[in-house]
Structure 1
Amino acid sequence: MHITPKITPIYQTSVFKFEDLNELELYYGEPGSRYMYSRNGNPNSDELADAVNLLENGVGAIATGSGMAAIFAAIMAYCTAGDHVLCAADIYGGSSALLNLELSRLGITVTYVPFEDLSTDLTPYVQSRTRLLLCETISNPLLRVIDLRATAEACHACGLKLVVDNTFATPIITRPFDHEADLVIHSVTKYISGHSDVTAGVVVARVAEDAERLKQISMLFGLTLSPMESWLAVRGLKTLRLRIEAHCRNAEAIALFLEQQPTVRTVHYPGLHQHPQHLLAATQGSQLFGGMLSFQLEDEAEVVNQFMRATKRFPFAPSLAGVDSSLSYPLGTSHRSLTPQQQVDLGITVGLIRLSVGIEPVEELLTDLEQAFASVTHTMQTN
């Protein structure tokens, strides 16, 4: 009986069978014609990579075991021992930890570039062996929006590759290749999968040579994503557009609400008109501003603790982008590995809270936040 499934099955196998030596030679003679060993490739991981590649309008992609593995693969695609990397100062703490603690052991050095200099002249930061600039479309956790085209021009003028972590924006909001980026990274764990039940990453290439290099790195370093995780991520990806629109609507409503709270000192959200990059975000992001925001309370740990204890719909969970809302504390989690001076320079202080706004009915989220702030205000008045 011939079976044609509508949904790709889970190919939960580590190895694939060959009929004879002719099939073996076909495998090596025509790459991609069939599968041999799941570390080298699997129908499920390829389906995920191909789907994200299509969304980003790339020429090829790999699916990896985590977002960190994706960042590692992207850097290794361009760097060897003795090379130098530029990195946006506003970057995920895991990225800086990888560069500072591990890649430095391989002889790869890094210089951090302030946000204000990324899209201008990079010459003062470039060394003879500088290979690339790593940045984020929308930065974590202060939600600064990089001018991708200007940054790509600044990189290419210096002979550098531009590697963009597009996790916060997703290709629904921004496609970095449209602005001449060279590689695009996603932590699939976040919006691509979207349900807080997968750990995965993807790297997408703009040119075929880079795509082939990524596949070699993935295979030899053993970065390939498992079939089950790949299948779950593909399932989540199918609702990405609908989810992103809902995330954005809710986040904008909450950002406006936070602006009105007397205990909130600052709100960081590109959708607010007073955000320094609001106009850039509107044009580069197709009038969508994302589901992430952060805000500043008084720099007192007990004020932060009181807010965390009081909220019911925003559990303290140090990740982001699930369909259920959550909050995180950058100083103690994602950016913990930064030096105290780096934290101060970036504005990551005791009172900074990051919200990952989900797709729940926004009225329920606003009601919860209202009672949480009432609790904080009461505590501050009685102390």
Structure 2
Amino acid sequence: MKFGTKAIHAGVHPDPTTGAIMTPIYQTSTYVQASPGKHKGYEYSRTQNPTRNALQDNIAALENGKHGLCFASGLGATDAVLKLLKPGDEVITGNDLYGGTYRIFTKIFQNFGIKFHFIGMDEVNTIENHITPQTKLVWIETPTNPLLNIIDIAGVAAITKKHKLWLAVDNTFASPYLQNPLDLGADIVMHSVTKYLAGHSDVVMGALVVNDDELAQRLAFIQNASGAVTGPQDSFLVLRGIKTLHVRMQRHCENGRAIAQYLASHPKVSQVWWPGFESHPNHAIAKAQMRDFGGMVSFTLKGDSLQDAIQMMEKVKVFSLAESLGGVESLCTHPATMTHASIPKAEREKAGLKDTLVRLSVGIEDAEDLIEDLKQAIG
């Protein structure tokens, strides 16, 4: 089954009672049992809910995986992965991460005795220099947030398999439409479903997808025992959003390319980060492991003036100055004070994230209108 067909049909079946083509919103906390312990597969909605189950099956199919699990947020999904570990375990991860991921690593799980190594991963061979007997997990983003670095998933997977480590990939920026980490050797795929999968800026949700049955059982236990599950209403909204994922992503990619090329030619722009440029350090890897280059673009203005960057962001009219990404509407974000504010300034700058960097989530509006908006805002 091709991707567009899976987006619409995978995991979704007509309601057996009414024949409704859309999965019903099973807005219930509990289920009637014929006799103690005798039920139809559902006891309590923290554990199982038919609407959530349909969504989990759908997302798993999109990632070419066997098991999907949905959580109340992307960080809820990340939290579940880290609960596979125990005090003394070590994690190797990138030095260019979403601020919320950095925060949960350093402010929550580091306090429970888990050690994190933040390293550059443009060259995957550097990972082996940091592996110890205590290393259990390698966590990567690709493309990264917000510098759009590309990490060779298959290359990292070869290393993790050699050392019998788990590899988890945050696939939020690419979405399953552009990239499928399980096919490249990853063990766990994480999504902030809030972003491209839901696609309409009206849901907060996270998801994990795995192939290994035992790993799926462990994560399902954590999901149920910790309780960070998503509700049926949000599950319904994401099921609806995913039905247009392939169409939306095509336009995100087209518009992202147009915006990146416009900014690269602008006399007041000093640098543009977008993996579709042949000059991008890992463009060849992006071209090999992704189907297109996505709708995320970051840039800085010449002169590197924070005030100039702020004034530009205050002037946008079609773009909206807001956190998050992946919705149908275009967003403009200042990572240093918004999405990555929890990362200390010294650590941000060490990774190359300047206070003057602007991140765009290019939506699906008319590209000419987006370019005109940037033109008037940059001046």
In structure 1, the partner of 2:110 is 104
Q: Distance in 1 between matches of 2:236 and 2:176?
A: 20
Q: Deviations over 1:313-367 (max 9, x none)?
A: 1111011111000111111122112222211111111210000000001111111
In structure 1, the partner of 2:10 is none
Is the Cα–Cα contact under 8 Å of residues 48 and 230 in structure 1 kept in the other structure? Answer: yes
Structure 1 residue corresponding to 2:81, chosen from 42, 67, 74: 74
Are 1:349 and 2:364 an aligned pair? Answer: no
Q: Distance in 1 between matches of 2:261 and 2:321?
A: 22
Is the Cα–Cα contact under 8 Å of residues 91 and 117 in structure 2 kept in the other structure? Answer: yes
Structure 2 residue corresponding to 1:55, chosen from 62, 66, 71: 62
Relative to structure 2, which stretch is displaced further, 123-132 or 351-360? Answer: 123-132
Matches within 5 A, 1:202-221: 202-221=207-226
TM-score of the superposed pair, with normalisation by structure 2: 0.93
In structure 1, the partner of 2:268 is 263
Q: Which amino acid aligns with 1:328?
A: T
Give 1:116 shift. 3.1
Relative to structure 2, which stretch is displaced further, 38-47 or 121-130? Answer: 121-130
In structure 2, the partner of 1:224 is 229
Are 1:87 and 2:96 an aligned pair? Answer: no
Is the Cα–Cα contact under 8 Å of residues 122 and 158 in structure 1 kept in the other structure? Answer: no
Matches within 5 A, 1:36-51: 36-51=43-58
Percent identical residues: 38
Is the Cα–Cα contact under 8 Å of residues 122 and 151 in structure 2 kept in the other structure? Answer: no
Is the Cα–Cα contact under 8 Å of residues 121 and 154 in structure 1 kept in the other structure? Answer: no
Give 1:68 shift. 0.3
Structure 2 residue corresponding to 1:179, chosen from 176, 181, 184: 184
In structure 2, the partner of 1:312 is 317
Partner SS state of residue 255, structure 1: helix
Are 1:113 and 2:128 an aligned pair? Answer: no
Q: Which amino acid aligns with 2:293?
A: F
Q: Distance in 1 between matches of 2:330 and 2:345?
A: 29
Q: Distance in 1 between matches of 2:191 and 2:17?
A: 37
Q: Distance in 1 between matches of 2:245 and 2:314?
A: 31
| Structure 2 residues not aligned, in runs of 5+ | 1-15
Partner SS state of residue 93, structure 2: strand
Relative to structure 2, which stretch is displaced further, 298-307 or 162-171? Answer: 298-307
Give 1:281 shift. 1.1
Matches within 5 A, 1:103-252: 103-117=109-123, 119-252=124-257
In structure 1, the partner of 2:25 is 10
Are 1:333 and 2:338 an aligned pair? Answer: yes
Q: Which amino acid aligns with 1:98?
A: I
Runs of 4+ that moved beyond 4 A: none
Is the Cα–Cα contact under 8 Å of residues 247 and 291 in structure 1 kept in the other structure? Answer: yes
Is the Cα–Cα contact under 8 Å of residues 58 and 207 in structure 1 kept in the other structure? Answer: no
Give 1:201 shift. 0.5
Give 1:262 shift. 1.4
Size of the aligned set, in residue pairs, is 363
In structure 2, the partner of 1:359 is 364
Give 1:127 shift. 2.2
In structure 2, the partner of 1:381 is none
Q: Which amino acid aligns with 1:361?
A: D
Give 1:370 shift. 1.2
Q: Which amino acid aligns with 1:49?
A: Q
Partner SS state of residue 246, structure 2: helix
Q: Distance in 2 between matches of 1:367 and 1:86?
A: 42
Partner SS state of residue 342, structure 1: helix
Is the Cα–Cα contact under 8 Å of residues 45 and 224 in structure 1 kept in the other structure? Answer: no
Q: 1:36 to 1:261 in 2, by over 3 A?
A: same
Q: Distance in 1 between matches of 2:171 and 2:190?
A: 6
Is the Cα–Cα contact under 8 Å of residues 300 and 350 in structure 1 kept in the other structure? Answer: no
Structure 1 residue corresponding to 2:293, chosen from 285, 289, 292: 289
In structure 2, the partner of 1:277 is 282
Q: Deviations over 1:103-159 (max 9, x none)?
A: 112221111121234x11423212221101100121000111111100111222222
Q: Which amino acid aligns with 2:99?
A: G
Q: Distance in 2 between matches of 1:266 and 1:177?
A: 33
| Structure 1 residues not aligned, in runs of 5+ | 28-32, 375-383
Partner SS state of residue 269, structure 2: coil
Give 1:2 shift. 5.2
Is the Cα–Cα contact under 8 Å of residues 99 and 110 in structure 1 kept in the other structure? Answer: yes
Q: Distance in 2 between matches of 1:91 and 1:2?
A: 46
